[in-house]
């Protein structure tokens, strides 16, 4: 007779049947919850990056690297709440050589320079040839986002190397480019020239479609570019489909551009800011 059974029998001798049922239910919930507890986490190896590359070649797995800083709150949250999820842990432990480095100490300082790490948390994936194959900035709260990120890193179609190689052949493919821009935005690697080229390859009447609007709000930053100017010149085309989001988007992007200009470290930052402000004020947009 196990411990749980002895407890139930002892309680049965001292309580009414209804009380015993309630007690059994309580213990079932407690014991059941313990069985469902998350008991695994990503196994980060305490090795150098060169050792990780060697392991990557031997085990034929890409490297997954958590780039963090000790003062970074989202980094700590992600470590405690995402990397300890069984679903995430099992996927990463099976498919990657997992390492983590403080980007402001030791080897991490040079790795930050090499892979362009400027914000935290940043997650990167590197192949055995030291090539960056995937990058993501920030800490999502959804397990599925981390699984999708890892799947893209493993993919020979949607990792960063493949995307850079194939984008020229897919500029008119709305579905492909939507995924392309989503990945590049997550990596903080959006090329505004690619944004302009994509929209230049499709009819302007299609720019306000749901898919293309999602691309616009995710990656269009150049307020002097053709896409942003089209919104300014024909706002009703976009408002009909997307309502007040259009004005919110325009307002946010203008403020962001002005803020970037104002806080630039260039010696002529103030003059550039004033020139941009004058240009913005000349636009005929309510």
* Partners of 134 in the β-ladder: 125
111 closest CA partner among 136, 137, 133, 132: 132
**pLDDT score, position 22:** 53
Helices 143-154 and 86-95: crossing angle in degrees, nearest 10, is: 10
**pLDDT score, position 242:** 97
The tokens of 197 are what?
Answer: 């080229």
The tokens of 212 are what?
Answer: 């293309």
CA distance 183 to 167: 12
The residue to which tokens 């570019």 are assigned: 225
The tokens of 17 are what?
Answer: 């049947």
**pLDDT score, position 285:** 80
**pLDDT score, position 17:** 47
Tens place of pLDDT per residue across the chain (286 aa) = 444 444 444 444 444 445 544 544 544 444 444 345 678 999 999 999 999 999 999 999 999 999 999 999 999 999 999 999 999 999 999 999 999 999 999 999 999 999 999 999 999 999 999 999 999 999 999 999 999 999 999 999 999 999 999 999 998 888 999 999 999 999 999 999 999 999 999 999 999 999 999 999 999 999 999 999 999 999 999 999 999 999 999 999 999 999 999 899 899 999 999 999 999 999 988 7
**pLDDT score, position 129:** 96
**HSE (side-chain half, CA atoms, 13 Å) at 71:** 3
97 closest CA partner among 142, 50, 143: 50
């Amino acid at each position: 007779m196990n411990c749980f059974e002895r407890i139930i029998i002892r309680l049965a001798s001292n309580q009414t049947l209804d009380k015993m049922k309630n007690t059994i239910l309580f213990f079932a919930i407690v014991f059941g919850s313990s069985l469902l507890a998350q008991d695994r986490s990503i196994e980060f190896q305490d090795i150098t990056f060169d050792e990780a590359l060697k392991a990557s070649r031997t085990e034929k797995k890409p490297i997954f690297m958590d780039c963090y800083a000790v003062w970074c709150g989202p980094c700590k949250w992600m470590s405690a709440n995402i990397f300890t999820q069984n679903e995430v842990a099992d996927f990463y432990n099976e498919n990657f050589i997992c390492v983590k480095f403080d980007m402001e100490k030791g080897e991490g300082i040079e790795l930050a320079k090499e892979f362009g790490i400027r914000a935290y948390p940043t997650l990167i994936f590197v192949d055995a040839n030291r090539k960056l194959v995937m990058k993501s900035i920030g800490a999502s709260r959804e397990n599925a986002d981390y699984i999708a990120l890892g799947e893209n890193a493993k993919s020979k179609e949607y990792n960063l190397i493949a995307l850079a190689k194939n984008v020229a052949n897919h500029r008119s493919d709305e579905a492909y480019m939507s995924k392309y821009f989503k990945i590049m935005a997550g990596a903080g690697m959006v090329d505004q020239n690619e944004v302009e080229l994509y929209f230049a390859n499709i009819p302007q009447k299609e720019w306000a479609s749901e898919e293309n609007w999602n691309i616009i709000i995710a990656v269009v930053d150049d307020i002097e570019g053709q896409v942003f100017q089209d919104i300014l010149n024909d706002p009703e085309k976009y408002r009909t489909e997307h309502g007040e989001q259009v004005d919110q988007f325009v307002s946010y992007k203008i403020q962001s551009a002005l803020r970037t200009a104002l806080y630039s470290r260039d010696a002529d930052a103030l003059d550039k800011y004033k020139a941009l402000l004058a240009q913005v004020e000349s636009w005929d947009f309510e």
